[in-house]
Every structure is written in structure tokens, then in C-alpha cells.
Chain A
Amino acid sequence: MKLIFEKGSEGRKLSILGTCDVPVSLPEEQFLRKEAADLPQVSETEISRHYSALERRAHGVNNGFYPLGSCTMKYNPAIDEEMAALPGFTRIHPLQDEESTQGALEVLELMEKKLSAITGLDQFTFQPAAGAHGEFTGLLVIKSYHRDRRDNARTKIIVPDSAHGTNPASAAMCGYEVVNIPSAPDGCVDLDALRAAVGPDTAGLMLTNPNTVGIFDKNIEEITRIIHEAGGLCYYDGANLNAIMGIARPGDMGFDVMHINLHKTFATPHGGGGPGSGPVGVRKELGCFLPGVRPVRGEDGKLHLQAPEKSMGSMRSFIGNFLVVVKALTYVTMLGREGVLEASRNAVLNANYMRKQLEDIFPAAYPVTCMHEFVISLDELHKETGVSALDAAKALLDYGIHPPTMYFPLIVHEALMIEPTETETKETMDEAIQALREIYQKAHENPEALHQAPLKAAISRPDEVQAARKPRLTYGMDA
């Protein structure tokens, strides 16, 4: 397929733009470019066909099964888009008079109430634009809390090895020292290691729960108690919230701060279809540190945007990706209290169905009832046949299935992490199970063929090593 730069011809352009009817105002001379930018010169039809062709070569939830573990690629209901397209939401500006945007502010107030009911935490900021941005924000809340108490000795954040990779990265970004603690053989946090790790230098703990192997930590209340007794705060990575919505609440488990990935749990498009939204929720006592402005209902009964008393500042412009919040609010409102509960129950049921059906060929790394996702290890298959998790993942593409997350978490060898989500039917899952069974069989009969997969995808297998060692990230205009 040709790139957009390789299409069109000199001087070709759209003719539909009308004549400019406002005065032309150019920047100062020094800011003007000396030569015209080398832009593609194509007709509208060419552009339209080009991007439609690209779309056909991509894979989204609308094209097929997308069991990408840890990413919650559930169906995004069309009504969410309809609501987010309402002119009352799209044709407003954050600097507009509050009087005229009461409806939009009410969206934030309502969403905060719903998230609060689901998580057990009191106040939220919608500024963070994604999950890791939320982690960074949440840790800055923890840092603000300790600083406010003049407790400057707390320099360490404890992160179990079954956490999301972004957890230690976020802690390091905040200037914290990361203390990694191992998992016990059952996949849960090793309590003895945790007890040994805490002290007067503990700022807090970051826990991904259910963790990256799909297990709900059975000692969760003991974990938060250990941290609190040491004087630290507990951060809950809510990326896997889809497993527990309406069933268990991080606030009740003793967590002080958490982020939620609206783009995962609350069905807004992501993975190229973004943008995301990673609101951070905190206990009431920590609300004063939240970033940006929040809608607060005044005595006049109207909503006013106010910065919290000891706010850390701003993590992003205005109130974050507002239209994502509109979509998420639509989603959660359409589901209702019962629907939210059912979504999580089905997500867990689907994951366990697939786990059980694959057990005889691809046993789960931790053979216990999982939450919304599970991790299988292809270590044995790899040793026996030379077929790796990468080969199996690539082979799934030939079945029209997006591969599961691979080689993560690192604590499982040749890992594939499967998250079917609640919106998939039994038939879809059965097809994927059948595909994995066929791949297993092929691995024993003709492993060489699987090293070549995919054969039917839009592109053949890229050379990942060369792509990483000698990347070509721009199009060479002169080449």
C-alpha cells in the first residue's frame, strides 16, 4: 500500500474551500517559514480512499474478537457517541461563563457521584488524560499529603512485582524510590516481604488489583493495614476495575487514592480511537490536594469551578478530556446499578470459561478462579516445539482475532494474557478457543509454519529486532 506522500501530484488540491471572508493576519516575519511545507497534494477522493483503506487494514472491536489482556477492549455502545456529539457538549468552551455551562458541569458532578458509589472514594479529578497520567497525579496527591504534614522522610513507594509496569515508572517520575516486592507462589503479595519492606520511609503502596495475573489479592485488607500502620497511603491501580464494579469497592478495602480508566472500564474508545481519561479519586481528607478546578455546588444552587484549597496545581488544561466523561456517564447510566454489576460478573464468567476450556493444553499460570482475565504460559509448548508465545499470537491474526497481550507480566514465562470482556458471546469465545487448539496442534505437527505466521494479515511479520535497532520513524522526502 502506498503512503499518502506517495500519492497525488503537483498542484492537486481540494476545490471545495470557499474564499476567505475575514481579514488575513500573518505572524511576524521571523516566524514565517521560508519554503512551503512538503505536504501531500491529493484530491478529496484520494484522501477518503486512503484512510478507508487504512481502516480496513486495522483491527478494532467492530472487526473481531480483541482479547487484549489488561486493556479491557469491550464494545463501545453507539449511544455514547451520540450523547458526546450533542451541541450542548461540543459547542462550549471551558472559559465560557459558568452560568451558561451548568449542564456540562453537572455531567462532572454526576459522574463523580457514580464513580464514588462504585469505588467508595469521595472526590474525583477528571484532569488526567489516561491511566498512567492518573497514577502520576495520584502519587502527587500522596506526596502532597506527606509534605503538608512536614513528613519529608517518606521517600519510598512499594510496588509488588505483579503490578502494572507503569506503577514503578510513575513512582520514579514522582521522585520516589521504588521498592519492588515479590509475589508469593499463589500470585498474591508476599505479606512477610511487605512487612519487612515498610518503615518510616514508606510513602505508600501501589497495588494493581486484580493483579496482572488476574487474581484478586485475598489479603487485601491486611495489605492496606500494614501500609497504614507504617504511616503510608495506599494507591489502587483501577485499570482492572472491570472485574469488581458493583461487587467490591477499593475505598472499603482501605485504599486512599485510585485512578479509573474510563476508556477501559466505562467503554469509551481507546487504542488508537482515544483519547483516554484517567480520573483520580481520593478520600475526603485528601480532596484538598487534587489538581485543577472541580465543580462545587454553591449556596445559590449552581455549580462553580473551584480549585481545591491546597491544590497541587494543574495536571492538564481545564477539566481534562470532557467528552470522554460524557461517553462514560452515558454508559454507566444506561447500565444502571444492576447492569454495572452484571457487566463485571459476565467479564469474570467469560474469563473463567475460556480459562477452563483451554486448561488441558494451555494451563493458566495460576490455576485458580480468575477475575476478568487470566495468563497462560506457553513455556512448555515452547520447550517442546520451539513455538513461542509470539508465534501463537501472530497465528491468531490469521483467524481474524487480535492477539492477547504477550510477554506480560514478566513473572510468567512465554505469557499470553487473555481478557475476553463481558460483551463477547459464547460463540465468539468458542471460536477463539478452537483457534488456539488448532495452533497447539500445528505447533506439534508443523512448527515451522507457525514461525512464518501471519500469512493472511495486512502485513507479514515485521522484523521487530531491526525495527527496534534501526528504526525509520519519518518518511524520507528526498529518498
Chain B
Amino acid sequence: MNIPEELKYTKSHEWVKECEDGTAYVGLTDFAQSELSDLVFVNLPEVGDDVEAGETFADVESVKAASDVYSPVTGTVAEINEELLDAPEKINEDPYGAWLVKVENITDTVDLLDCAAYEQLLEEEA
């Protein structure tokens, strides 16, 4: 299972890339996409929407199930990855490249895991 060292993770299997300008990219981990299997639909918030740490901000659907995606941070949606709306398979192909949203004005964060802690979580869940 691919778990890049430079990213932070949530217990609900999202990854966060914290940028130097205070913004953050959020996506689904390799484990999440492999559990969900082939994604067929992605529902993203709109630019300008507020997201809240620990609350759902998007949902994804595979042939197996529909699943909520939880925001690791509180802030405002600065950008969404519109490409995913037409090509949800990009999340399966490149989970760490296929970010869902970029969040700015971040005021709060859930407890994030580093690569080692996330790896341990996956082991416990397996």
C-alpha cells in the first residue's frame, strides 16, 4: 500500500498536503480507493463553500458503495479538481495526484496522522 511520507492522514482515510502558503490539498488515500474499488461518480463542493473539520464535504460512489468524504480541516474551498467530475477513475489510477479540493483560510484541523501512524492504523484495520 502506497503511503507517501510527505503527507498527513486522517482516520477516515483522507490525505492532506499542507502547503507553505497556508492552504491544503485534500484527497483519498490509496487504501480508500482500493477499498471502494472502481469509482464511477464524485460529488464535490463548490468554490467558496465552507468545510468543517470532521464533517462530510464530498461524496464518492463506486460500483460497490457510496461513501462520504470527511474534511480534515476547517476552511473555505479555494479550488476543486473539476477533472474528477468527468473522470473519477483518476482517483483509482493516481490517488495522491487526484486531489479533490484545495482549502484556504484554515482555522482548525482534526488530529492528523503521519505516515507511520497511518500505516499502523491500516495494519490494525486489516
State in angstroms the CA–CA spacing of A407 and B61 once bound together.
Answer: 13
Q: Are A465 and B65 in contact (CB under 8 A)?
A: no
State in angstroms the CA–CA spacing of A147 and B88 once bound together.
Answer: 42
Number of interface residues of B (CB under 8 A): 9
Q: How far is the CB of A261 from chain B (nearest CB, A)?
A: 23
Q: Are A410 and B41 in contact (CB under 8 A)?
A: no
State in angstroms the CA–CA spacing of A469 and B63 once bound together.
Answer: 10
Q: How many A-B residue pairs have CB under 8 A?
A: 14
Q: Are A469 and B65 in contact (CB under 8 A)?
A: no
Q: Which residues of A in the span 454-479 have a Cβ within 8 Å of any Cβ on B?
A: 464-465, 468-469
Q: Are B65 and A464 in contact (CB under 8 A)?
A: no
Residues of A within 8 A of B65 (CB): 407, 410
Q: Which of the listed residues B40, B41, B61, B89 has the most CB atoms from chain A within 10 Å of its own CB?
A: B40
Q: Are B40 and A468 in contact (CB under 8 A)?
A: yes
State in angstroms the CA–CA spacing of A420 and B69 once bound together.
Answer: 36
Closest to B86 in A: A469
Q: How far is the CB of A468 from chain B (nearest CB, A)?
A: 4
Q: Are A468 and B64 in contact (CB under 8 A)?
A: no
State in angstroms the CA–CA spacing of A468 and B41 once bound together.
Answer: 8
Q: Does B38 contact A (CB under 8 A)?
A: yes
Q: Are A469 and B89 in contact (CB under 8 A)?
A: yes
Q: How far is the CB of B13 from chain A (nearest CB, A)?
A: 15
Take A469-B88, A469-B89 as given contacts and tell me if A407 and B40 are in contact as well, using a CB distance cutoff of 8 Å.
no
Q: Are B64 and A469 in contact (CB under 8 A)?
A: no
State in angstroms the CA–CA spacing of A469 and B38 once bound together.
Answer: 10
Q: Are A465 and B64 in contact (CB under 8 A)?
A: no
Q: What would 12 more interface pairs be, CB under 8 Å, given A468-B41, A469-B40?
A: A407-B64, A407-B65, A410-B65, A464-B63, A465-B38, A465-B40, A465-B63, A468-B40, A468-B61, A468-B63, A469-B88, A469-B89
Q: List residues of chain B with CB under 8 Å of any chain A CB.
A: 38, 40-41, 61, 63-65, 88-89
Q: List residues of chain A with CB under 8 Å of any chain B CB.
A: 407, 410, 464-465, 468-469
